[in-house]
Each structure stands twice: as C-alpha cells, then as structure tokens.
Amino acid sequence: MSGPRILMIDDDAELGAMLTEYLAGEGFDTTLVTTGDAGLTAALGGGYAAVLLDIMLPRIGGLDVLRRLRAASRVPVIMLTARGDDVDRVVGLELGADDYVPKPCYPRELVARLRAVLRRSEAAALVAPASIEAGPIRLETEARRVIVAGEIVDLTATEFNLLERLIRAGNRVVAKDELSREVLGRPHETYDRSIDVHMSHLRRKLVERGVDETVLETVRGVGYRVNRA
C-alpha cells in the first residue's frame, strides 16, 4: 500500500531525484515536476496530499504557481526557498503557503515539516464538537469551514488551525511559541514571522467579511487571543 502522494515542483532534477528517493524511504509516493506550468497543472489535477514548491522555476515562477493554485485549491503547500530570502518567504505565506523549508534543505527537516503539515490537514476527523463559535464567527470543525454572516470564509489549512486553536483557548492569550509548536509543528524562533504573517492574513479575511478587526487581538510581545467582548 503506497503512502501519501506528494507533488514536488523543482527544476533541480538532481536534488529532486535525491529527495524523491529519500521520501520514498520514509513512506511517501513522490512525483517530481520540473517546470512551473507543468507543476500547476499537476497540482490542480488533484490527488496529492501536499505540494513541495520551489520559488525559482522556469516558465511560471513559484509565487505565481502558488497564487493560481490557491485560487482553486486548499492543498497544503510547503515552499522551498533560498536560505536567508525572507522576502519570498513572507510573500509566499501571505499568498497562502502553509510552511517553508530553506534550501539547501536537510531531508530529515523536510520530512518533519511535511508530516507536521499532513497532521494538521488531517486533524478534522479527531476533533469535537462539530462547531464552535466566537462572536460572529462559527467554525465547523468536521467540515473545516468558517462561516461569518452566512458566508464561508476561504481559509488555508494553517489559518483554520490557528483560528480554531485561539477560539478553543477562550479568553486566554496563546503565546507565539505555543501556536508555532501546535500549528506549525516547530518552536518559534526570534526572527521567524510565520505566525504573524498567517495571523495578518487570517485577520484580513475575517475583516473583509465584516468581523471587527479587534476580535483577533494582538498582545504585543506575547501572542494572540480571541476578544469575545
């Protein structure tokens, strides 16, 4: 029985072949595609549990692939970015990527990030009750939907998990390190802005549906909480 199907979009064929072989040893069934346009077509075709997406790609760049993919699919995406290229990482997270791994990447770190993303995307079957609410926000855990004023808010898997974690915390402030460990699957590092970017994107989507921007409260230097007042 084959493991989760992973799509890798990377024009470095040698690296791709090495990672594909390593992932196979970890139980993943990986397909390698080396151009942006072919990768986008494959990703939109469905059937993949997650996508590993390089930023630098021929024909269509990785960020454009991500933008077009997110318009039609919620499949988890891990970006492969140049080490130290913070701008691409932030833009990718704002476009809806779930996580990133700097290149050259360590295969064990990639597998750990991949498994964390898959665990988060599969968490819906393990939670109850079927829905929880915070003010105008209704979060349907089994369907993985967020509804405001009768309309579905289109969230990524990471944004959904962040919102669920905060709502379940009640009025308690949830520290960034706690959110990073439980939602991203890794400790929060001093200069890592991933949680902040995801939260900014989440807040913007909720505000666009009429939710007051103060509902998701930033507690400076600590973390975030849902303000139910």
Q: What number of CA atoms fall less than 13 Å from residue 31's CA on the CB side?
A: 20
The closest alpha carbon to 117, from 51, 165, 166, belongs to 51
- Residue 105 is predicted with a pLDDT of 84
Q: What is the mean pLDDT of residues 196-204?
A: 93
Structure tokens at 124: 């819906």
| Largest Cα span, the chain | 55
CATH fold of 124-226, please?
A: Arc Repressor Mutant, subunit A (1.10.10)
pLDDT digits (tens, 9 = 90+) for 72-93: 788 899 999 886 677 888 888 8
- Residue 1 is predicted with a pLDDT of 47
Q: Is 157 helix (H, G, I), strand (E, B) or coil?
A: helix
Q: Report whether pLDDT(158) > 80.
A: yes
Q: What is the mean pLDDT of residues 175-195?
A: 86
- Please report, for the chain, the start and end positions of each structural domain, with discontinuous segments joined by +: 5-121, 124-226
Measured between alpha carbons, how far is 153 from 160 in angstroms, rounded to an integer? 10
| 5-121 against 124-226: fold identical | no
Please indicate whether residue 20 or residue 104 has the higher confidence score (pLDDT): 20
Confidence of residue 124 (pLDDT cuts 50, 70, 90): very low
Q: Report whether pLDDT(187) > 70.
A: yes
- Residue 112 is predicted with a pLDDT of 92
- Residue 55 is predicted with a pLDDT of 92
The CATH number assigned to the domain with range 5-121 reads 3.40.50.2300
Its pTM stands at 0.62
Range with lowest mean pLDDT among 36-45, 81-90, 107-116, 199-208: 81-90
Structure tokens at 113: 């990030």
Q: Whole-number mean pLDDT of the chain? A: 87
Say which DSSP state 126 is in: G
